[in-house]
Structure 1
Amino acid sequence: MVAYSFQPRFVPAIRSGLKRHTIRAERGGRSRHARPGELVQLYQGLRTRHARLIAEPVCEEVWPVRLDLAGCVTIGIEIQTDLDAFAVADGFRDWADLCAFWRRQHPGVVVFSGVMIRWMPIVADHVTPEDVRRGGRGQMDLFPDPAAQAP
């Protein structure tokens, strides 16, 4: 089983089922990415004492990906024509939000090649697309207590 860590801003999109993939650099050595059919563990804050499991979906597919912040995304051999839709599917408000995040997290990297790991749908949580567009900053609890929701 392979684990991936996410920042808090992505948790609502993952839990709602809107974000079904992650883009990562190739791994070297003995470390590897998930393979189709394997469970993946999605965490917020992995390797910290505040780590929280978001979900454990099954890896559906893994594709090579190339991001060019000048305005081009290629997944496998397919060029993405709607960059805003791609960015929303990756947990951002739009392409500009994705680019701003990328520039903060990876200064000086304008073109990136790696892999896109896509997982099977997660049963949607009580998160609306509007919550995701706001970046999860609404009045929702990112990790609701299931016992508190019982009638």
Structure 2
Amino acid sequence: MVAYSFKKQFGPPILAGTKAQTIRAERAGRSRHARPGELVQLYTGMRTRQCRRLGEAQCVEVLPIKMDLIVGLVVAGDGWIREPGDLHAFAQRDGFPDWWELVAFWTAEHPGVDLFKGVLIRWQPLAPADALDIAGAA
């Protein structure tokens, strides 16, 4: 099982099931990313006192990804995204309101990295908390 840590701002969209992917750099050495079919553990603040376990989900897809933040292009697997509406939808699946917010976040977190190559990990979305107590609603 592979664990992923997220900034606190991504906790609510992960718990709501609206963020079900993450973009990560390749891992080196013995460390590896999840593989399709494996469970992933999702946290905020891992390795801190504020660590919070958000849940577990099944990894459904791992794709190589390239993002060109200057041009506005995402290549994931064999597909590519360039249209503004599609870029916004991609960014929303990653927990951002739109593509420009993803670019602003990326620029702040990774100064000088305008062209990124890594992996896109997707998991089965977590069920929203209010959907978990279906039996109690009767």
TM-score (norm 2): 0.88
State the Cα deviation string for residues 91-122 of structure 1 (Å, max 9, x = none): 00111100000000000000000001100121
Gaps of 5+ in 1: 127-145, 147-151
Gaps of 5+ in 2: 134-138
The one-letter amino acid of 1:57's match is: A
Who is 1:68 aligned against?
A: 68
TM-score (norm 1): 0.81
Identity across matched positions, percent: 57
1:67, 1:98 → 2: CA distance? 11
Residue aligned with 2:119, SS: strand
1:48-67 equivalences under 5 Å are 48-67=48-67
Structure having the larger proportion of residues in strand: 2
Who is 2:88 aligned against?
A: 84
Q: Say how many residue pairs are matched.
A: 128
Who is 1:102 aligned against?
A: 106
1:65, 1:125 → 2: CA distance? 31
State the Cα deviation string for residues 4-62 of structure 1 (Å, max 9, x = none): 00011111111111111111000010000001111101000001122110110011110
2:95, 2:50 → 1: CA distance? 22
RMSD of aligned residue pairs (Cα, Å) = 1.5
Q: Which runs of 4+ in 1 moved over 3 A?
A: none
2:87, 2:36 → 1: CA distance? 25
